[in-house]
Amino acid sequence: MSTSQSTVTAIGVDFGGTSIKMGVARGAELLEVADSIPTGDYPNPDDLIGQIALKVRALRDHHPEVRAVGVGVPGLVDFDTGLVHVLTNVPGWVQIPLKQCLGELTGLPCAVENDANAMTYAEWRYGAAQGLKNVVGLTLGTGVGGGLILDGRVYRGSRWAAGEIGQMSIHYDGVAGHYGNLGALEKYVGNQQIAENAQRRYGQSGLHKELNLCTPKVIADAALAGDPIAQDIWEEIAHWLGTALGSIAWLLNPDAFVIGGGVAQAGDLLFKPLHAKVHSMISKVVAENLQILPARFSNEAGIIGNAAIAGDHVP
Amino acid sequence: MSTSQSTVTAIGVDFGGTSIKMGVARGAELLEVADSIPTGDYPNPDDLIGQIALKVRALRDHHPEVRAVGVGVPGLVDFDTGLVHVLTNVPGWVQIPLKQCLGELTGLPCAVENDANAMTYAEWRYGAAQGLKNVVGLTLGTGVGGGLILDGRVYRGSRWAAGEIGQMSIHYDGVAGHYGNLGALEKYVGNQQIAENAQRRYGQSGLHKELNLCTPKVIADAALAGDPIAQDIWEEIAHWLGTALGSIAWLLNPDAFVIGGGVAQAGDLLFKPLHAKVHSMISKVVAENLQILPARFSNEAGIIGNAAIAGDHVP
């Protein structure tokens, strides 16, 4: 792989727990997007892979210049072999040789990557962090995912498990995460936690709100309309998230954080206090060329990132 | 640089704020150690570099097979140019072209590296973490230093400032570090903080101890002798340090942590609860091949690590 090579047209597959989105991309440009596949309609991995392959072949028929297919999955995958070890939220997906199967069914070179790595790759290759040397990508949603580009390459760790920013601790005696890990970041800034926290705050102030009304979008709109509780909630999210980013900045001294996902769509409400918080924690040198950037891509990040990875790895 | 190349004999210089130690090393073997130079005796950087060069030449006269010299400094250095940006604890050391000066004065290829990186390099190349792919090195002392080997190479970050584990936060509203960074790890597990914490605990229990008696060594001896307060102190250090290591494990999914410095000499008193704490925080996959290792080298780590870096970079 080299970032200087010419851009290859490839198919990107964004494999989510609910639906599978796919399309043809050339760099940042989406040439065609297929109808998505409801993941739950195909409980057997073989059937699901068959369905993906069907759509891949149809897309390639429309775009004969397609040279590769890349799939991003919500879980652990060995990038070298393309063996999916486990997808926590997709029943039956344990030790599935996805790269091999999809390659055989489509005749295309295939790459399989973790979804957060693919999002980070999209931003690094064609998005907000294009061409920077060291990039930390985050997606803020139900959980907090992350991906790392270090010294100009995807860093995956010893068991392909690197980048789990949501599991990092921001408090040694804090709220327990999914693994019993005290102070897990995503137990503070995940969508559900933001909603519960907002409901509690409104409750304390006598302004009861239903939990399902406390989405990041609603809290952002309230903050923009001048609601002091909502403004406070964003300050607090920035305090927690900024603590984790500050620690990562000390450890990795990156050029940029790129932040996507629903929570990031709050814009300045999040990014302004987050910038202040991170900069309150780091030295001048670490701050020197550190950028905290909103992601360029949103829903299409998976298609673009996975197509880019596959295209960059075409033999 | 390649770890497979044959071992070169080189001079390593361990440039500390108090003294400068140097010697000739071939791999893990120290062939000769020179008398150290008291750093404060040479307030002018040029004079100090001259003195180092004098000793380098004398060592090379005894060991004509020496092919390079490596210096590890307690601060920020551009590894590519060998320009020392700033040594916080050594007056006058700002923007000093150490690699160039020492190269000219000795006629030897010269490498200049951050001291924590050099310690980590020594352990990765010839010590406890030999040959592993992803290694996180820590030195526990007055402060907490760190170095990273990622994908088999030293990772230095965008401004050569990576690896500052002591500045990472373990509590979003915790004790402020040197940079105002709340919850800075070294404000919990640095020697001075351990001593103050021990004094406070003994005070609360009616057993007053003088601050200068609360060294890690004394607390370790007390714990081994069955003192429950001292045992508790080690549990607490492991709780704090383990929180940071757990976060780093989630982020980088390394093969090993290698821990050196005075505090690490407590052995099982530290390593047993630390192992338990870290493993209580991470997934099976991240834990799978994660080792938490005491450093092989102690005082000689700087000489060996810097000689190794210089030797591995001989053109």
pLDDT surpasses 80 at B123? yes
pTM for the model stands at: 0.96
ipTM attached to this prediction: 0.96
Contact B76 A285 (CB under 8 A): yes
How do residues B195-243 score in pLDDT, each as one tens digit?
A: 999 999 998 887 777 777 888 999 999 999 999 999 999 999 999 999 9
Q: Is the pLDDT of residue B282 over 60?
A: yes
- Is residue B142 scored above 50 in pLDDT? yes
- On average, the pLDDT of chain B sits at 95
Cα–Cα distance, B120 to B137 (Å, whole number): 5
Facing residue for B171 by CB, picked from A146, A171, A181: A171
Residue window 250-289, chain A: list those with CB within 8 Å of chain B: 250-255, 280-283, 285-286, 288-289
Cβ–Cβ below 8 Å for A252 and B155: yes
Beta partners for residue A258, in sequence order? A137, A293
Rounded average pLDDT over B141-151: 95
CA gyration radius for chain A? 20
pLDDT category at B5 given cuts 50, 70, 90 is low
φ, ψ dihedrals at B262, nearest 5°: -55, -50
Contact A70, A11 (CB under 8 A): yes
Q: Residue B35: exposed, middle, or buried by beta-carbon count in 10 A (0-12, 13-18, 19+)?
A: exposed
Would you tell me how many other CB atoms lie within 10 Å of the CB of residue B196? 13
* Residue B276 to residue B292: CA distance in whole angstroms: 11
pLDDT tens sequence across A113-132: 999 999 999 999 999 999 99
CB contact under 8 A, B168 and A247: yes
Q: In sequence order, what are the residues at sequence separation of 6 or more whose Cβ sits closer than 8 angstroms to the Cβ of residue A282?
A: A246, A249, A250, A290, B167, B179, B181
What average pLDDT does range B73-80 have in this prediction? 96
In A, residues 57-86, which contact B (CB 8 Å cutoff)? 76, 85
Place of tokens 């073989």: A46
H or E stretch including A102? helix A98-106
Q: How far is CA B31 from the centre of its chain?
A: 22
- A291 to chain B: closest CA residue: B158
Query: CB-based contacts of B249: which residues, under 8 Å, 6+ apart?
Result: B257, B278, B281, B282, B286, B287, B290
Please tell me the predicted confidence (pLDDT) of residue B2.
43
Residues of B whose CB is below 8 A from A87? none
Of B157, B169, B254, the CB nearest to A243: B169
CA distance B23 to B9: 11
pLDDT tens for the 315 residues of chain A, in order: 444 456 899 999 999 999 999 999 999 999 999 999 999 999 999 999 999 999 999 999 999 999 999 999 999 999 999 999 999 889 999 999 999 999 999 999 999 999 999 999 999 999 999 999 999 999 999 899 999 999 999 999 999 999 999 999 999 999 999 999 999 999 999 999 999 999 999 988 877 777 778 889 999 999 999 999 999 999 999 999 999 999 999 999 999 999 999 888 899 999 999 999 999 999 999 999 899 999 999 999 999 999 999 999 987
Say if residues B183 and B169 touch (Cβ distance below 8 Å).
yes
3-state SS string over chain B?
CCCCCCCCEEEEEEECCCEEEEEEEECCEEEEECCCEEHHHCCCHHHHHHHHHHHHHHHHHHCCCCCCEEEEECCEEECCCCEEEECCCCCCCEEECHHHHHHHHHCCCEEEEEHHHHHHHHHHHHCCCCCCCCEEEEEECCCEEEEEEECCEEECCCCCCCCCHHHCECECCCCECCCCCECECHHHHCHHHHHHHHHHHHHHCCCCCCHHHCCHHHHHHHHHCCCHHHHHHHHHHHHHHHHHHHHHHHHHCCCEEEEECHHHHHCHHHHHHHHHHHHCCCCHHHHCCCEEEECCCCCCHHHHHHHHHHHHCCC
Residue in A133, A164, A239 closest to B172 by CB: A239
* A151: contact with B, CB 8 A cutoff: yes
- Judge whether A183 is closer than 8 Å to chain B, CB to CB: yes
CB contact under 8 A, A181 and B282: yes
Q: Does B291 have pLDDT greater than 80?
A: yes
Q: What is the pLDDT of residue B3?
A: 46
> CA B69, B72, B77, B80 torsion: positive or negative?
positive
Nearest CA in chain A to B236: A172
- For chain A positions 33-62, those within 8 Å of chain B (CB to CB) are none
